Amino acid sequence: MPRQDMAPCGAAALQELLSGTIHRCRTEASDHVKIVNSGLNSLLDFGKETSPQFSLGDLKKAVLCAHKKGLKVMIHANGRNPVRDAIDSGCDSIEHGFFMGTENLRRLADEQITWVPTAFTMEAYARTLPKHSRESQVARRNLDHQLDQIRLAKNFGVRIAVGTDAGSLGVHHGEAVREEIRLLLVAGLGLGEAVQSATSIGAALLGLGDRAGCLMPGSPATFLAVRTKPERLLDALSTPERFCFKGVFVAS
């Protein structure tokens, strides 16, 4: 829902527009609403923050409309103010959250909002762009800063979910999941914690907690099987031995 679509509306019209848009999401079998509330990370100016795209009032209305329809709301936000407003709006998750700052990290923990840090996006830029270019160096610094935020988040008890932003430069579907888990480990999560971020925490965020993400009596058996030592898990994930989908082994 880009802001320019909403700008000419008064409060009542805005409410109607949000309601109509979200109603279409529901009837067209969408499961989530994603709101983009900030710009992208700068690859030229380290730590440059952009302004929120929506007023806090608009964000709150959008979240309320979505929740009334049973839809979760993820908010793309980088920088202190866009993330602060996203948290204030009552959203379900913050996507990216680069440069959100310590206070916002604490609030994610206190208010049990899931964070999807997508750290690998910056490593992928650093790897893919010309090695000594300014963009590559800023991307590397963005990554280091994000890893510091993840360290803090772990200490505060923030629920972190793996998400990749696959499709971004150098970020490929599937493989990027492994890369993101690796970075969570680099930032100090234990192996079990990182696996939970990629499975049960992500599933719960998507509202799939009763159908996926956790192996327990009564839930469908959907899992990968690898033959390796725990410390080699990430390597082995690229070549799983077995794949079981809802209780049925399929060819790998």
Q: Which is nearer to Zn ion, 41 or 199 (CB)?
A: 41
Distance (Å, rounded) from C-alpha 57 to C-alpha 52? 12
Q: What minimum distance in Å lies between the beta carbon of 235 and Zn ion?
A: 29
Q: Which is nearer to Zn ion, 66 or 237 (CB)?
A: 66
Residue in 171, 205, 169 with CA at minimum distance from that of residue 72: 205
Q: Which is nearer to Zn ion, 43 or 237 (CB)?
A: 43
> What count of Cα atoms within 13 Å lies in the side-chain half-sphere of residue 100?
34
Residue in 251, 238, 231, 131 with CA at minimum distance from that of residue 176: 238
Dig out the tokens for 128 from the structure.
């893919």
Q: What minimum distance in Å lies between the beta carbon of 117 and Zn ion?
A: 12
| Cβ within 8 Å of residue 36, ≥6 positions away | 2, 53, 75, 76
Q: Which is nearer to Zn ion, 76 or 178 (CB)?
A: 76
Q: Which is nearer to Zn ion, 97 or 213 (CB)?
A: 97
Q: What minimum distance in Å lies between the beta carbon of 78 and Zn ion?
A: 9
Q: What minimum distance in Å lies between the beta carbon of 227 and Zn ion?
A: 36
Q: What minimum distance in Å lies between the beta carbon of 89 and Zn ion?
A: 16
Q: What minimum distance in Å lies between the beta carbon of 203 and Zn ion?
A: 20
Distance (Å, rounded) from C-alpha 68 to C-alpha 118? 28
| Interface ranges with Zn ion (CB under 5 A) | 76, 95
Q: Which is nearer to Zn ion, 76 or 84 (CB)?
A: 76
Residue in 153, 144, 150, 149 with CA at minimum distance from that of residue 123: 144
Residue 232 near residue 226, CB atoms below 8 Å? no
Tell how far CA 205 is from the center of its chain.
10
